[in-house]
Structure 1
């Protein structure tokens, strides 16, 4: 049995799946979702984008919620992406949703972050194959600005299509710290920069205490954000998947 006792903060469905995987490896956890996914109302912009999919040399889907909602819109509007249009996902789980829908999906096997996606040869080939490349990014409100900035730096026109917003679920003041103490948790896990913001916001006056616990994050950018926020022990998992977290836990043994 591992000495780790982790606080998981992903959306509820993902928290449950991750907790089950961790339990299979003898790792205890407690779920406290700090991100609730709320689909945005359908807009004329959404309908127009899906009607004009052929103008994009690539479509990038940044998360499982973006994949689920985007595929629903594809079906609703009976949109037909070009057969040779590549779709890209930041992680394997998101890519699997696209493949199940019959789309040619690619993802970086070496990491679940924007940097790894940008280095993917297939994405660079798609950009280089047309004289005026245009890429569509399906995402939530905000996020993945680094990805768009890097693509624009390569001369790519980037269009965003927000499909959902993330909000902090309602918790009582002091509930986060109380759960950490009650469950004797010895580490925190966040899967995004916004998840980290919600963690700090909900911790409030208890943040200096919680900031002393090891904090597992998905990327170098979120790691830097965590250090700026005052986290004292930051572990970059180089990915948001369960496999990435398990590898990081193995590299960084829990203090007994």
Structure 2
């Protein structure tokens, strides 16, 4: 069995989100190499955001970036926090998003669910009969239409605020070079875009790096262990040729990643 300290995690989280996971993993004896593949770029709020926000009955945040960026944008308007209405309820997609909402102290709906995914959220009693209610989805560019369609099917008037966009980060050439030489490399893909960006970066730089790493970098990458945040990501990367082991986190959070690392260590 591989000892925990033989694992090396390629942490592809955005730079501003990576520190907590790095501390957790290193405390558990895992080496961590920072390799952000995504940068978060805030976008402008609607002009009427400060006045219309309080009219929403239910606000769904699709990521912890949605939580932090919304707070940042309202603070830029001179407000301490978003102006929630008296009966407003917040909902989260993802365990990390739930934790971010709790940390902000925003009005969080009390739900008895184990998986913070769109399908399970839409099945809760709180989102069944939404006739006459206004719902807001706070998100970045892209994503699945499942959530919006589900809320509309329940009778809600749904609005989406696209408050940030993701763009590829600069390639972590030094970390990647070291990662190719470690005893037991483990990749992290918290989103399909994070994985796609990594593959694109590796492919684009492969020709330039052949003098130091003559092996086919993408082929080598596709043989490694990878931790992903959902079965959907697992299926997508498997269809695109991933041949290594894939570990789906038990919960979409840093603690979930740590659990997956322990599982990899035990099964190696």
Normalization by structure 1: what TM-score? 0.83
What secondary structure is seen at the aligned counterpart in 2 of 1:131? coil
Write the distance in 2 (CA, Å) between the matches of 1:80 and 1:217. Answer: 35
CA pair 151-231 structure 1, distance change in 2 beyond 3 A: farther
CA pair 176-155 structure 1, distance change in 2 beyond 3 A: farther
Which deviates further from its counterpart, 31-40 or 64-73? 64-73
Which deviates further from its counterpart, 63-72 or 108-117? 108-117
2:37 aligned to which of 34, 38, 45: 34
- Number of residue pairs the alignment of both structures matches: 248
2:252 aligned to which of 232, 240, 243: 240
Contact 1:113-1:238 within 8 A present in 2 as well? no
Q: Which runs of no fewer than 5 residues in structure 2 stay unpaired?
A: 207-216
Write the distance in 2 (CA, Å) between the matches of 1:30 and 1:254. Answer: 21
Contact 1:59-1:137 within 8 A present in 2 as well? yes
Asked if residue 162 in structure 1 is aligned to residue 165 in structure 2, the reply is no
Write the distance in 2 (CA, Å) between the matches of 1:6 and 1:108. Answer: 32
Equivalence for 2:60: 60
Two-structure CA RMSD over aligned residues (Å): 2.7
2:92 aligned to which of 81, 89, 93: 89
Asked if residue 209 in structure 1 is aligned to residue 220 in structure 2, the reply is yes
Contact 2:122-2:128 within 8 A present in 1 as well? no
Contact 1:152-1:158 within 8 A present in 2 as well? yes
Normalization by structure 2: what TM-score? 0.80
Equivalence for 2:122: 118
1:24 aligned to which of 19, 22, 27: 27
Equivalence for 2:263: 251
Q: CA deviation digits over 1:126-147, x for unaligned, max 9?
A: 552x423432111111124333
Write the distance in 2 (CA, Å) between the matches of 1:51 and 1:89. Answer: 23
Contact 1:138-1:162 within 8 A present in 2 as well? yes
CA pair 112-250 structure 1, distance change in 2 beyond 3 A: farther
Equivalence for 1:132: 132
Return the offset for 1:12: 1.0
Return the offset for 1:47: 2.9
What secondary structure is seen at the aligned counterpart in 1 of 2:48? helix
Q: Which runs of no fewer than 5 residues in structure 1 stay unpaired?
A: none
Equivalence for 1:199: 198
Equivalence for 2:13: 10
Write the distance in 1 (CA, Å) between the matches of 2:7 and 2:117. Answer: 25
CA pair 177-111 structure 1, distance change in 2 beyond 3 A: same
CA pair 247-255 structure 1, distance change in 2 beyond 3 A: closer
Which is bigger in relative contact order (C-alpha 8 A, separation at least 6)? 2
